[in-house]
């Protein structure tokens, strides 16, 4: 089930702050930037980079996924391995989106930022 309009507004506000804090300096952004998208109850965080062999093509590479489970009101955190499969993060769930974003930012297990 997708977010309600109020929930989606709250998610967008938090994500905007998170992404703005994560973004590199302006002069680096053509080579590396960050963004997010919302699909149903999932939030995907991705890198934005030029394609290595055709720099005019811009690619989005997912590296984190946060899923809201409505019936338990928890946020599950996933990371993408090199095999392009999603795996539950070491601390797999939190009670708030803000807490989930802090876990991703701290990246204690080097799953998101290497």
Where are the chain's structural domains?
Answer: 5-106
Angle at 1 between CA 94 and CA 15, to 5 degrees: 50
Q: 93 — alpha (psi -120 to 50), left (phi > 0) or beta?
A: beta
Which H or E run contains 17?
Answer: helix 5-22
Query: What was the pLDDT predicted at 2?
Result: 87
The residue to which tokens 């890198």 are assigned: 47
Compute mean pLDDT per 10 residues along the chain, 114 residues long, and list them: 92 98 98 98 98 97 98 97 96 95 96 92
Query: What was the pLDDT predicted at 1?
Result: 64
Neighbouring CB atoms inside 10 A of 51's CB total: 10
Query: What was the pLDDT predicted at 114?
Result: 84
Would you say the C-alpha torsion 81, 87, 92, 94 has a positive or negative sign? positive
Query: What was the pLDDT predicted at 92?
Result: 85
């Amino acid at each position: 089930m997708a977010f309600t309009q109020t929930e989606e507004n709250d998610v967008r506000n938090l994500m905007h702050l998170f992404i703005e804090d994560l973004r590199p300096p302006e002069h680096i952004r053509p080579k590396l930037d960050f963004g997010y998208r919302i699909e149903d109850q999932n939030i995907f965080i991705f890198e934005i980079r030029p394609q290595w062999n055709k720099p005019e093509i811009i690619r989005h590479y997912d590296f984190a996924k946060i899923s809201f489970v409505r019936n338990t009101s928890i946020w599950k955190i996933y990371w993408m391995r090199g095999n392009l499969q999603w795996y539950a993060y070491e601390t797999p769930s939190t009670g708030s989106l803000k807490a989930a974003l802090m876990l991703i930012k701290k990246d204690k297990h080097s799953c998101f930022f290497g």
